[in-house]
Amino acid sequence: MRYAMAIDTKKCVGCSDCVVACQTENNIPLGYARDWVTETINGVYPSLQLEFRSERCNHCDNTPCVRTCPTGASHVIEGGIVKVTHEKCIGCGACIQSCPYDARYSSPEGWVDKCTFCDHRLKDGQNPACVEVCPTHCMYFGDLDDSNSPVSKVMANRKWKVLAPEAGTSPQIFYLI
Amino acid sequence: MKTTRRDFIKISSIGLGSLAVATPVVNYITGNSNDNPLSGTGKISRHANYCEVCFWNCAGWVYKNEEGKIWKIIGNENDPHSNGRFCPRGTGGIGMYEDDDRLKKPLMRVGKPESQEYKEISWTEAFDHIAAKMKEIGQKYGNESIALFKHGSSSKHFGHLISAFGSSNQAGPAYAQCKGPREEAFTLTFGEPLHSPEPLDIRDSKCLVLIGSHLGENMHNGQVQEMSEAIDKGISIITVDPRFSTVASKSKFWLPIKPATDNALLLAWINVIINENLYDKDYIEKLSVGFDKLKEHVQQFTPEWAYGITTIEPNIIRETAREMAKAAPAVIVHPGRHATWYGDDTQRLRAIAILNALLGSWGRRGGFYMAASAKLPKFSSPAYPKPKWGWKDINPEKYPFANEGVTNLIIDGSHPDYKGVNKIKAWFVLGTNLPVSIPDTKRTIEAIQNQEFIVVIDTMPTEITGYADIVLPECTYIERYDDLRVLPHREPNIALRVPAFEPRFESKPAWWMAKEIANRLGLGDYFNYKDYSDVLDWQLKQIGSSLDEMKNLGVKKFDREFDDLYFAEGETPEFGTTSGKIELYSEELASYGFPPLPVYKPMPEPETGFYRLIYGRSPVHTFSRTTNNPRLTELQKENKLWVNPKVAKEWDFKDDQEIWLQNQDGIVSEFSIKVRITERIRWDSVYMVHGFGHKDKRLTRGFGKGISDAELITKVLIDPESGGTGMRSNFVTFVTENPGKEVVS
């Protein structure tokens, strides 16, 4: 099993609903977020391109964050989800430094926090909160090893890209272009 | 008073659920505590509601844990407005409940009318005082002299009170500052207004034309969702906007039009569609009147003519017209919502309506569907007394086509310069922050200062509360009952709002306030119930449901009475116009001396060094009501001024540089705004999101963050047909040194 997410940049309107839904679902303290939205503009008026991207931990196959963690707090669970055991984390920040996506932050409690793909919801057969709330239905989630999963199906029919492929981390968030 | 959960069960179980007590917990959801990100037992409850962060009123569930803590709000899957998905503002709606800056107790002004000193008073004192002042003012000037400004679901309760008192002087910015001209233009053309949500069949449309309408930034939930679905199905989007809006970036054609020239483009499109025989001949012949006059009228408006005005090339005008015709009748020339732009807005919206008629999209799949609403019996109440005069009589010469209260007309009747006899002497204001929601803040404040008594009902200490004699703290939608949501859609449906919590602080629901005031005025018969849930239960039982059933469902759908979502093949439907047909040529407009066919009128242009002020929406905010919300200010705490790089270079601006704005009338913004240098805006315009620059220090997150466009909109071009206040003919220049304005609070 390999969990992954595909996000359709042709549909995303950059509204940040994914951010608020993650914050409320996961009870993230005010001032912090596990996901965020970027806006990229290219060209000169009136020949312009605009791309919004909802970004988060890429749950990479090759995980510098797990490698650099001195306590084993950062680890990979079933389906390739990268998690942090809060009790084991000493807040040293090595993982934050090693992440090419800047996807981790130090929580006010001291431990490092990040996207979990809402694994507490996956157990009940639900999608991550961001996927479930998106008003443009631009996010697809599922098991890449299952060719019938929403993420596999949409990726089979669309062009896609990943962020910072040069980092060699084999990220599992795919942007449909 | 904090009720523990044990008390709460005890009270509700003996059936004394007075207003201070939240609804019994419903819908336990079993969950494993280890999987619950909230500390607690993992036993979670959800409570039906519909969102009040914006007018879309999406239905959903307020989730809380057993300790009584609010967790999240999630859309109701059966709701046609949200399809189970809230927008960011709705998801962040819990911030309205959580906000510690909320109004907490009734307040009474002490000292001089212009002072902002208040003392806390009891609800009894507040109601006694309000009732005494209403009687006094009613006796002096007539009950009609008391007006209500309103917005949102709970305004119905005060509307009922003011009507029972004998005044029909009631208006909301949702008409004359928003969709007024649109509703009248569509009524003149098709015989009915569009209402909310608009009956646009976007999901099955093949071509969507957006004129300044920034779907995706305005987050009109159902429409954004359907647009996304239509993108998957290959819809062709044509966006007309001087700004590279979010949806412009998703469009096949983006027409970066010169601002204030939309009518020229629309007329040229009509010209091409008629002259190239691209219109729906059968439909136009059977269903419309005035085609020949229209055809003759538009001959002068060639694409070449429009090019010189709009800066859109003739071949693009032709190509986009053909694109629409290719998709017809599954095409929507979107009517927009906030339509009060240039003071000739009924004419622009008439051109949009006519274009849709020519394409045959009204009543057709992929165009405009025929919406239906659920029917609810009215809870028994005596007939209202007949007022001697109403808002139309403030100036009977004005706005002959206005079918709803015109806020600015009521302000005219409230202003010291009013020479007529039908004077407004006291205001009730519920859920609308008038200094920000009505353009020309200075004039609004002059009218306010001419009032003998002002009551403001709100959840937040917005600017308008600082002008009130009495402030009544309303609880949020999460803490109160209101009417069932009955809005038109493909399927008739209703949605329920129940309180998930007892009101925080000493805030109370509006229905209770209105009822208490009515009792003191001898109008108790109009509020013949103990708790508003009695009204809902009675209504629901009349239609075969009940309050208990609806608490579990949240939303209930009903079958349409007729199978008439679209016009049937060969059908000749009758329209609500005078002629019973679609009126391309409007005799009604002609009879009042207005152009019976849409015209283009050149608009004022900015002087050198000035830029047209364009304002719009952010997906995370609704007007000024969310710009203190702790959840939503996280995402956007201030507005920025979008400036084209060419302009920025001329002024030597850097990103995030703080500047002030001065408009054509010499008005300088109260606060500074940060510059955002971006290619997304034309060089002759600047853009900002509406709703920022709060001036009340009690709004700890919103105070002084960004600037208010409303204070810079002092030149208001009024649409003579509907009374809509055109706000987009204001020009600003930049002030780079701090003008040292004294900050009021």
Closest CA to B214 of B712, B619, B555: B619
Structural domains in chain A, sorted by start: 3-176 (3.30.70.20)
The token duo for B676 is: 């955002």
| Distance of alpha carbon B8 from alpha carbon B10, whole angstroms | 5
Asked if A157 reaches chain B (Cβ–Cβ under 8 Å), the answer is no
Distance linking the first and last C-alpha atoms of chain A:
25
- Pairing relationship of beta strands B70-75 and A36-44 according to DSSP bridges: unpaired
- B 411-440: CB under 8 A from A: none
Does B97 reach chain A within 8 Å, measured CB to CB? no
Residue B672 CA from chain centroid, whole number: 27
Q: What CA–CA distance (Å, rounded) separates B497 from B77? A: 16
pLDDT for B742 = 56
The CATH H-level superfamily of B187-370 is Dimethylsulfoxide Reductase, domain 2 (3.40.228.10)
Q: Name the CATH superfamily for B1-91+481-507+543-570.
A: ADC-like domains (2.20.25.90)
A26 near B CB under 8 A: yes
User: Which residues in chain B (193-232) have CB-CB distances under 8 A to chain A?
Assistant: 216-217, 219, 221, 224-225, 227-229, 231-232
- Residue B605 DSSP SS3: coil
Cross-chain residue pair A25–B630, CB shorter than 8 Å: no
Give the residue ranges of chain B where pLDDT is below 50: 1-39, 744-745
Q: Which residues of chain A have a CB within 8 Å of the CB of B231?
A: 10-11
Subunit contact A15:B619, Cβ cutoff 8 A: yes
Write down the domain spans for chain B.
Answer: 1-91+481-507+543-570, 107-172+405-474+509-536, 187-370, 611-714
CA A106: distance to chain centroid? 17
Task: Check residue B7 and give its pLDDT.
Answer: 29
Contact B673/B615 with Cβ under 8 angstroms? no
Cβ B725 vs Cβ B408: under 8 Å: yes
How many Cβ atoms from other residues are within 10 Å of residue B70's Cβ? 18
Q: Give, for B162, the enclosing helix (H) or strand (E).
A: helix B155-165
Within a 10 A sphere around the Cβ of B69, how many other Cβ atoms? 13
Model pLDDT, residue B169:
98
DSSP state of B579: T
Q: What is the pLDDT, as a whole number, of residue B41?
A: 54
Long-range contacts for B575-581 (Cβ within 8 Å, ≥24 apart)? B575/B190, B575/B191, B575/B192, B575/B287, B576/B187, B576/B190, B576/B191, B576/B192, B577/B187, B577/B188, B577/B189, B577/B190, B577/B191, B579/B289, B580/B191, B581/B287, B581/B288, B581/B289
Domain B107-172+405-474+509-536 has CATH 3.40.50.740: yes
What is the number of other CB atoms lying within 10 angstroms of the CB of residue B607? 9
pLDDT at B33: 33
pLDDT at residue number B115: 75
CA dist B399 and B419 (Å) reads 18
Q: Following DSSP, what letter does each residue of A43-65 receive, concatenated?
A: EETTEEEEEEEEE-----SS-HH
- A53–chain B nearest CA distance, Å: 13
Residue B142 CB neighbours (<10 A): 17
Chain B CB contacts of A10 under 8 Å are 231, 250
Identify the three-state secondary structure at position B561: coil
**Is residue B74 less than 8 Å (CB to CB) from chain A?**
yes
Distance from CA of B258 to the nearest CA of A (A): 12
Q: Spell out the per-residue pLDDT of chain A, length 177, in tens.
A: 999 999 999 999 999 999 999 999 999 999 999 999 999 999 999 999 999 999 999 999 999 999 999 999 999 999 999 999 999 999 999 999 999 999 999 999 999 999 999 999 999 999 999 999 999 999 999 999 999 999 999 999 999 999 999 999 999 999 999
| B644–A135 C-beta distance less than 8 A | no
What pLDDT is stored for residue B743 in this prediction?
54
First-to-last C-alpha distance (Å) of chain B? 30
Cβ contact (<8 Å) for B634 and A43?
no
> Is domain B611-714 annotated with CATH 2.60.15.10?
no
When CB atoms are compared, the residue of A13, A21, A134 closest to B216 is: A13
Q: What is the edge-to-edge ordering of all strands in the sheet holding A173-176?
A: A139-143, A3-8, A173-176, A160-161
Q: Is B316 on the interface with A (CB under 8 A)?
A: no
Question: In the 3-class helix/strand/coil scheme, how is B324-367 assigned residue by residue?
Answer: HHHHCCCEEECCCCCCCCCCCHHHHHHHHHHHHHHHCCECCCCC
Of all residues in chain B, the one with the smallest CA distance to A121 is: B35
Q: What is the distance of C-alpha B604 from the center of its chain?
A: 27
Average confidence score pLDDT of chain A: 97
A 55-114 near B (Cβ less than 8 A)? none
Q: What whole-number distance in Å separates Cα of residue A104 and Cα of residue B356?
A: 50
Q: What is the pLDDT of residue B67?
A: 81
The C-alpha of A41 sits at a distance from chain B's nearest C-alpha, in angstroms, of 8
